[in-house]
């Protein structure tokens, strides 16, 4: 049995046991039955990694990687609001990806500026 068949059987089973009050979320076009839910849900791993990097010394920050995360977070935040249906889960995770990336860039930039300030003395 392939993974798609397992997934479909699991959804059929869960369709019968989801409580009535959760059906609007369950049946939503960007709900848990779709990739539009699971991709952003797993993307929270990037946010967790970015938050854990706050303890990393500033001299070890990759400005390119953090900048890329910030820019892609902004791009995908915008995209998640123009698609139909609007995907608020994707929007929220991408805002946090952008914020953590931008904060790391700021930390790296401040560190580089402090190095330049120390070298001019």
Instruction: Please give the structure tokens belonging to residue 32.
Output: 């848990």
Same domain as 22, residue 54 = no
pLDDT confidence tier of residue 121, bands split at 50, 70 and 90: low
| Domain that includes residue 69, residue range | 34-119
Same domain as 47, residue 95 = yes
Q: pLDDT tens across 48-65, in order?
A: 998 998 899 999 989 999
- What is the spatial distance between Cα 17 and Cα 115, in angstroms, rounded to a whole number? 60
- What is the spatial distance between Cα 4 and Cα 10, in angstroms, rounded to a whole number? 10
Same domain as 102, residue 48 = yes
pLDDT confidence tier of residue 109, bands split at 50, 70 and 90: very high
- What is the spatial distance between Cα 87 and Cα 77, in angstroms, rounded to a whole number? 9
pTM here? 0.77
Same domain as 98, residue 52 = yes
Same domain as 39, residue 19 = no
Please state the domain count of the chain.
2
């Amino acid at each position: 049995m392939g993974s798609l068949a397992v997934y479909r059987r699991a959804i059929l089973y869960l369709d019968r046991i989801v409580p009535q009050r959760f059906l609007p979320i369950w049946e939503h076009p960007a709900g848990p039955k779709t990739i539009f839910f699971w991709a952003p849900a797993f993307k929270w791993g990037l946010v967790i990694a970015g938050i854990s990097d706050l303890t990393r010394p500033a001299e070890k920050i990759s400005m390119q990687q953090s900048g890329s995360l910030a820019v892609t977070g902004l791009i995908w935040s915008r995209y998640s609001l123009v698609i139909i249906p609007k995907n608020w889960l994707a929007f929220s995770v991408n805002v946090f990806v952008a914020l953590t990336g931008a904060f790391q860039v700021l930390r790296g930039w401040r560190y580089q500026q402090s190095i330049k300030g120390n070298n001019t003395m």
